[in-house]
Each structure stands twice: as C-alpha cells, then as structure tokens.
Amino acid sequence: MLGWLSRLVLDKRAREALKRPASNAVARPKASTPRAKERDPATALAEAEERMKRLPPEKAQLIRSAMLVHRARQSVLANLSDEERAKLNQVALKALLGESS
C-alpha cells in the first residue's frame, strides 16, 4: 500500500530520492548554525505580495483565491471543539484508509 500511496502523493524525483541509500544523502548543516529570525505576519505578507507581482495576473489571482479558501477552512477548523475534531479525524481516517475504529 505504501507504494500506491507514494505514487499518489510523491512525484518521480521524490520517490527516487526515497529509494537511494543513505550514503548518497546530502550532508545537512549542523544544528549549531543560527536559524533565520521569524518574520511577523505583516512582513511575510508584504514579501509574498511582492513576489506575486512577478507572476502572471491569472496565476496570482488563483493563488489569492486559494489562500482565501484556505483561511476560511482554517477558521472553521479552529472553532471546532476537541470532540468534534476527534470525530472529524475518525471520519477522515475512515475515508482515506478504509479503517474502522
């Protein structure tokens, strides 16, 4: 089943990267390197809008629409109680994996 799921979710390069032995893996920097400072939401939004100016107008509008839908869904999920969230999780697992709990 994992092969089926990986074909559904991962592209060819990602699947091949998972199959490579660990010795071919690229060395990652140590944790001692300082991480970039977190940006406040206003700065991140301004930077995103600046990058969107370089996109074709149709693509930029599509991204904006998708972000509006994403925000709406997130606000609905944020208002769920713990019990409702657990039920939603069970329904999602049953739908995706065919499991019954």
18 and 10 Cβ atoms separated by less than 8 Å: yes
pLDDT of residue 62: 92
Residue 72 has pLDDT above 70, yes or no: yes
Question: Among the ranges 32-36, 48-52, 64-68, which has the highest mean pLDDT value?
Answer: 64-68
- Print the SS3 string covering 45-81: HHHHHHHHCCCCHHHHHHHHHHHHHHHHHHHHHHCCC
Residue 25 corresponds to which tokens in the numbers above? 């893996």
Residue 85 corresponds to which tokens in the numbers above? 């969230």
pLDDT tens digits along 42-61: 898 889 888 888 989 999 89
Q: Is the pTM of this model over 0.75?
A: no
Residue 1 has pLDDT above 90, yes or no: no
Distance CA 37, CA 59 (A): 29
